[in-house]
Chain A
Amino acid sequence: MVANAQTPVIECRGLTKVFKDFWLRPRVTAVDGLDLVIEPHQVFGLLGPNGSGKSTTIKMILGLLFPTKGRIAIFGKLPTDVETKARIGYLPEESYLYRFLNARETLDFYGRIFNLPRSERNKRIDMLLEMVGLEGVQRRPVGEYSKGMQRRIGLAQALINDPDLLILDEPTTGLDPLGTRQIKDLILHLKQRGKTVLLCSHLLADVEDVCDRVTVLYGGRIRALGTIEELLSVSDSTQIETERLEPALVAKVRELIEKEHRKVHKVEAPRRKLEALFLEIVQKALSEGAATSGAKTGGAVAEFLAAGAAPAPADEGRQVIAGLVEAAKPAPPPEVSKPEPAAPAADARVLDALTAPKPEAKPASEEKPSPPKAVDRSVIDDLLKKDDPS
C-alpha cells in the first residue's frame, strides 16, 4: 500500500567489526564486510549459528558498538542519533532489567524515556502487561521472575513506544511454547500494520514461519540471502500437488514419468525445510574452510559418555516433553463462537496451518493469523490500533 521507494529502514554497507584485545591487537572478526538492506514493512530474518555475528550486527545498528569499517544508516540517520531511537524497539538477547523494580515500574521507567504522557503510559502498560500475561504479578520485583517471565517483560519494554522498527535478538529463548507462539503472532501482526521487524535467531522454526526475507550468516559473512520462497524453492525438481491419489494411480503416474526417462524422487515432502538449507549452508562453509569466531558444529557424543550406553530413543524423549508441556498448560477455555482451530494445546497443528500455503482453507483466519487466545489478539489490536487505518 505504501510506495517502496522510501529510504530503507536499515542499510549497512561493508560493515565490519573486529574486536581487539587490551593491547589493541585484532582478535576476533565478528562481522566481515556485511551488506544489508532492510526495506520498510519487511520481516527480516537474520539467521546463523552461535557466534556468527548476529548480535554484534544488531549492537552496531543500535550504536552500542562502533563499526571498525563500513557505514550504517538507520531510518537514514547514524546509529548514534538519539531521535531515531524513538522509533525503535529492541529486545536484547538476554533480558537485562533493574532487579528491584517491579514489572509496572520497569515499563514506566522505559516509557518515561520516550516522554510518553502519564495517562498514555499507564494505558499502554496495562495493555502490555496483559498481553505478556504478567498483569497478575506486576507488583513483584522483576529480580524474582523466572527467565521466561523476564523475557516477557523484555518484550513488553520493546513495544512500549509502538515502534516502527522492532529488533528482536533471539526473542524466544527461555519462552514456553505459548510465549513462542505469541511472539510469532505479534510479528505477523506488526507486519500487517506496516511495521518493520528484524528478527535474529538460530531457531529456524521461528524464522521460517514469519520472515519475508532471510539472511544466513556464518563467520560474520552472508552465506545466503533472499525471500523464504527463493531460498527454499528447489529448482531442479518439480512438484505436482493433486488431491489424494490411491497407490495404484501413483504407480501409474510413476510409470508414465519413467517412460520419459525421468526420475521420481519422492512422492510426499512438498517442500524443503529451512533446517535442511541451514545445515547445508553451514556444512558447505565448513567444507570450504570458512573462518568463524563462533561455535563450530558440535561433534559426536563424547566417547566416555557414549561408550556402552544405549542410545536414547529420540522420538520417545520428544514425546515425553510434548506431554509435559501439554500437562503444564491450563485447560483451554471453552470456545463457543470461534471457528478457528485455536485451542492453545494444539500448537503443532496451528503452526502447520500457518505455514502450509492453503489460501482457501481458512476463510475465517484470513485477517488474523490464528490467535492462540482471544484476549491477546484484542490487546494487541488496542495497543496498536492508533495508526492502523483498517
Chain B
Amino acid sequence: MTSAAVRWGGRFALSLAAWAAVEGLVWLGGAGDPLASAPGRAAAGVFAGAWLFIAGFALLRLLLGLEWSPLGVARAVVEEAVRMRLAVAFIGLLIFILAALPAMQDAETPLRYRVQTFLSFGLGATATLLSLLTVFLSCASLSNEIQDHRIFTVMSKPIGRGPYLLGKWLGLMLLNALLLAVAGTLVAGFTWQLARETGVDTGDALSVRREVLTARESRAPEPADDLEKRALARLNQLKKDGSPLLVEMREDALYAQLVGQEKKQWLSLAPHGQETYVFDGLGDAKREGREIQVRYLLRASQAPPENTVTIALEINGRTGTLRTKVNDYQLMSVPPEAVDEDGRLTLRFINENRRHPKQTFETTLTFPPGDGLEAMYERGGFAGNFARGLAILWLKLGFLAMFGLAAATFLSFPVAALMTLAVFVVAAASGFLIDALAYFGDNERSETLKSATSAVRWTGLLLAEILGPYSRYAPAPKIVDGRYIPFGDVLGCAASIGLVWTGLSAAVAWLIFRARELARVQV
C-alpha cells in the first residue's frame, strides 16, 4: 500500500520534472511563453493527459470493483481497451492534434476566430475519434468473443444474456466517460490557455470573452403571423391559374418553397423600406440586468463602398443612425432596459440614411434565415456549457455502443462494424440528408425513374428522420458560438437518443442474443 504510493509519487515527480525540463528548454529557445509553442503545448498535454487518465482510470477501477456481476463483464471491456493500447492511442492522437492546431493558425487572424477554430476542431476530433473507437470496440468486444468461443465459458456461468450485454455496454459507457473527461479537460484547458494570448486589438480580446467563452441564450424574431397565410394564398392562386410549376413540382414542396420565399421577403429590406422584428422571452435578461447582444448579418445585393451602409434603427420609438458593415456577423449591444414588461424587445430597421436620405445606398439588405438576426444574452458560464455538451456527446456514444453490440450479436466483426459505421454516418449527417433528399428526383422526367428515385428518397428520408435527433443534438457548434446548451437538451437527448434509441437497440440486441445458439459456427 505505502510502497505503491511511493512508487506512484516517484513517477509523478519524475514526469513533472521531465515536463518542466521540456518547458524550460522551449523557454530557453526564446519562444517566450513556452505554452504558446507547439512542443511546449504537446509536453503539457502529455503530462496532463497522462495523469488525468491514470487518476481517472484508478477511480474507474474502484467503481468497477463493486460487487455486481455485470460490472465484472464491464471491467473486462475496459481492461481490454486499455491494455490493447486503444485508449492510449486515442489520447495520444488527440494531444497531437490539439498541440499542433494552434501552430497552424495565422497569428494575424483575430484571436476570436483562432479560439473558435481550435474549439471546433478539438471537439470535432474528440467526437469523431471517440465515435470510431466506440463503433469498433463495441463490435469487436462481442463478435470476437463469440467468434473465438470465449463466450462459451462466460455463458456457462450464472449470468443471463441480458445482464451480460448490459455489462458490455456499461464497460463501453464508463470507458467513454473516462476518455471524454480527459479529452474535454484537455480541449478546455488548451482553449483557456489560447484565449490568454493577446488578440489583434482590444475589441478582439473582449469578443473572445463575450462571444466564445460564454453561454448565451438566443431568441429569434417571432415571424409575422400572416407568413403562412400569404404562402397558402399564393399557392391557391397558382393552382387556379393552372401554373406549370404545379406539374413540375409536388404541391407540398412548392408550398414549402413559397413559405421560404415569404420568410425571406419578411427578412429583407428594400431600399427605403422598413420592417419590425419582435424578440420574445427576454424577461430573464431584463430582470437580471444583462446586456442584450443583437447579433446580425446583413447581406447586400450590391456591395456598398467600404462594405458599409448607413441605415436607421428604432428601439422603443427612439430612432438612431446605424453605420454597419455588411456581409459579416455584427454584434450590437442593447441595454436590458429596452426590453418591455412582457419580456419583449422590438426593433425596427429602416433601410435609409435618415439624415441624408439622398445618400442612401440603394440596395436590398437581407438577414439570411437561420441565424441572420437574433437577440442574445449571457445565461451561464463556459465550463458548465462545455460539460453539458460533453454529456450529450456521451449519450450519443451510448447509442452507438448499444447499436454496435446489437449488430455484433448476429454479425461477424467486419460486417457489424461496417453496419454500425454506416448508421453513424447517416445519423451524423441526417440533418444534411433531410435537406438534400427533400427535392431529390423531382426533376426526373420519366415515370419509372421518378418512382425509383422517390423510393430512394423515402427510405433515405425515413432513415434520416429516424436518426434525426442525432444531428439535432450537436453540441459542438453551440459551444463554439458561445450558445447556451440548456439542461433540457441533455434531458431531451437522454430521452430520445438515450431511452428510445439506445433502448430499442438494447431490446433488439437482447432478443437476438437470447435466441442465438452461441456455439453454432457458420462458415
Residues of A within 8 A of B76 (CB): 98, 101, 109
A109→B72 contact, CB < 8 A: yes
* Residues of chain A in range 72-105 having any CB-CB distance to chain B below 8 Å: 82-86, 88, 90, 92, 94, 96-98, 100-101, 105
Task: Tell me if A64 counts as interface (CB < 8 A to partner B).
Answer: yes
Residues of B within 8 A of A83 (CB): 158
Residues of B within 8 A of A84 (CB): 158
B158→A64 contact, CB < 8 A: no
* Residues of chain A in range 326-376 having any CB-CB distance to chain B below 8 Å: none
Distance of A209 from chain B, by nearest CB (Å):
26
A22→B522 contact, CB < 8 A: yes
Distance of A293 from chain B, by nearest CB (Å):
14
Residues of B within 8 A of A195 (CB): none
A96→B152 contact, CB < 8 A: yes
A113→B157 contact, CB < 8 A: yes
A100-B83, A112-B67, A115-B67 given; A64·B155 CB < 8 A? yes
Task: Tell me if B154 counts as interface (CB < 8 A to partner A).
Answer: yes
B153→A157 contact, CB < 8 A: yes
A64-B519, A92-B152 given; A113·B79 CB < 8 A? no
Task: Tell me if A145 counts as interface (CB < 8 A to partner B).
Answer: no
Residues of B within 8 A of A154 (CB): 153
Task: Tell me if A66 counts as interface (CB < 8 A to partner B).
Answer: yes
Interface size grouping (class) on chain A: 35 or more
Task: Tell me if A117 counts as interface (CB < 8 A to partner B).
Answer: yes
Distance of A125 from chain B, by nearest CB (Å):
14
Closest to A81 in B: B158
Residues of B within 8 A of A109 (CB): 72, 75-76
Partner of A64, one of B67, B83, B159, B518: B518
B519→A98 contact, CB < 8 A: no
Closest to B514 in A: A80
Task: Tell me if B202 counts as interface (CB < 8 A to partner A).
Answer: no
Q: How far is the CA of A361 from the CA of B5 in the complex (A)?
A: 59
B153→A90 contact, CB < 8 A: yes
B149→A96 contact, CB < 8 A: yes
User: What does the 1/0 interface line of A268-283 toward B look like (CB < 8 Å)?
Assistant: 0000000000000000
B156→A62 contact, CB < 8 A: yes
Distance of A160 from chain B, by nearest CB (Å):
9
B69→A113 contact, CB < 8 A: yes
A82→B67 contact, CB < 8 A: no
Task: Tell me if B222 counts as interface (CB < 8 A to partner A).
Answer: no
* Residues of chain A in range 164-212 having any CB-CB distance to chain B below 8 Å: none
Task: Tell me if A118 counts as interface (CB < 8 A to partner B).
Answer: yes
How many cross-chain pairs have Cβ atoms below 8 Å apart between A and B? 87
B150→A82 contact, CB < 8 A: no
Distance of B15 from chain A, by nearest CB (Å):
24
A98→B69 contact, CB < 8 A: no
Q: How far is the CA of A3 from the CA of B158 in the complex (A)?
A: 28
B150→A98 contact, CB < 8 A: yes
Closest to A154 in B: B153
Closest to B72 in A: A112
Distance of B176 from chain A, by nearest CB (Å):
19
A98→B520 contact, CB < 8 A: no
A117→B519 contact, CB < 8 A: no
Q: How far is the CA of A97 from the CA of B150 in the complex (A)?
A: 6
B158→A85 contact, CB < 8 A: yes
B157→A101 contact, CB < 8 A: no
Q: How far is the CA of A113 from the CA of B520 in the complex (A)?
A: 24
Task: Tell me if B241 counts as interface (CB < 8 A to partner A).
Answer: no
Q: How far is the CA of A88 from the CA of B148 in the complex (A)?
A: 22
Distance of A182 from chain B, by nearest CB (Å):
20
Task: Tell me if B342 counts as interface (CB < 8 A to partner A).
Answer: no
Q: How far is the CA of A19 from the CA of B522 in the complex (A)?
A: 10
Q: How far is the CA of A90 from the CA of B151 in the complex (A)?
A: 12
Distance of B282 from chain A, by nearest CB (Å):
55
A113→B67 contact, CB < 8 A: no
Closest to A21 in B: B522
Q: How far is the CA of A98 from the CA of B519 in the complex (A)?
A: 18
Distance of B422 from chain A, by nearest CB (Å):
23
A83-B158, A96-B152, A110-B157 given; A65·B520 CB < 8 A? yes
A64-B152, A90-B153, A100-B84 given; A113·B519 CB < 8 A? no
Task: Tell me if A71 counts as interface (CB < 8 A to partner B).
Answer: no
Q: How far is the CA of A63 from the CA of B73 in the complex (A)?
A: 20
B156→A85 contact, CB < 8 A: yes
B153→A96 contact, CB < 8 A: yes
Q: How far is the CA of A239 from the CA of B73 in the complex (A)?
A: 59
Q: How far is the CA of A114 from the CA of B157 in the complex (A)?
A: 7
A113→B159 contact, CB < 8 A: yes
Residues of B within 8 A of A92 (CB): 149, 152-153
B150→A96 contact, CB < 8 A: yes
Residues of B within 8 A of A88 (CB): 156
Residues of A within 8 A of B151 (CB): 96
A115→B69 contact, CB < 8 A: yes
Closest to B75 in A: A109
Task: Tell me if A147 counts as interface (CB < 8 A to partner B).
Answer: no
Task: Tell me if B517 counts as interface (CB < 8 A to partner A).
Answer: yes
Q: How far is the CA of A161 from the CA of B69 in the complex (A)?
A: 14
Q: How far is the CA of A117 from the CA of B148 in the complex (A)?
A: 30
Closest to B82 in A: A100
Distance of B452 from chain A, by nearest CB (Å):
30
A92-B153, A109-B75 given; A82·B160 CB < 8 A? yes
B159→A100 contact, CB < 8 A: no
Residues of B within 8 A of A223 (CB): none
B152→A82 contact, CB < 8 A: no
B157→A100 contact, CB < 8 A: no
Partner of A85, one of B157, B517, B522: B157
Task: Tell me if A140 counts as interface (CB < 8 A to partner B).
Answer: no
B158→A86 contact, CB < 8 A: yes
Task: Tell me if B340 counts as interface (CB < 8 A to partner A).
Answer: no
Q: Identify which of A94, A100, A105 gathers the most chain B CB atoms within 10 Å of its CB.
A: A100
Residues of B within 8 A of A64 (CB): 152, 155-156, 517-519
* Residues of chain A in range 94-140 having any CB-CB distance to chain B below 8 Å: 94, 96-98, 100-101, 105, 108-110, 112-115, 117-118
B158→A113 contact, CB < 8 A: yes
Q: How far is the CA of A59 from the CA of B160 in the complex (A)?
A: 16
| Besides the known contacts A62-B152, A113-B158, 17 further A-B residue pairs in the complex with CB atoms under 8 A apart | A62-B156, A63-B155, A64-B156, A82-B160, A84-B158, A85-B157, A85-B159, A90-B152, A90-B156, A100-B80, A110-B153, A110-B157, A112-B69, A113-B72, A113-B73, A117-B67, A161-B157
23 contacts across the A-B interface (CB closer than 8 A): A59-B519, A63-B156, A64-B155, A64-B156, A65-B518, A65-B519, A86-B158, A90-B152, A92-B152, A94-B149, A96-B149, A96-B150, A96-B153, A98-B76, A108-B72, A110-B157, A112-B69, A112-B72, A113-B154, A113-B157, A115-B69, A118-B67, A157-B153
Chain B: residues with CB nearer than 8 A to chain A? 67, 69, 71-73, 75-76, 79-80, 83-84, 148-160, 517-520, 522
- The 3 A-B residue pairs whose C-beta atoms are closest, nearest first, are A112-B72, A64-B519, A85-B158
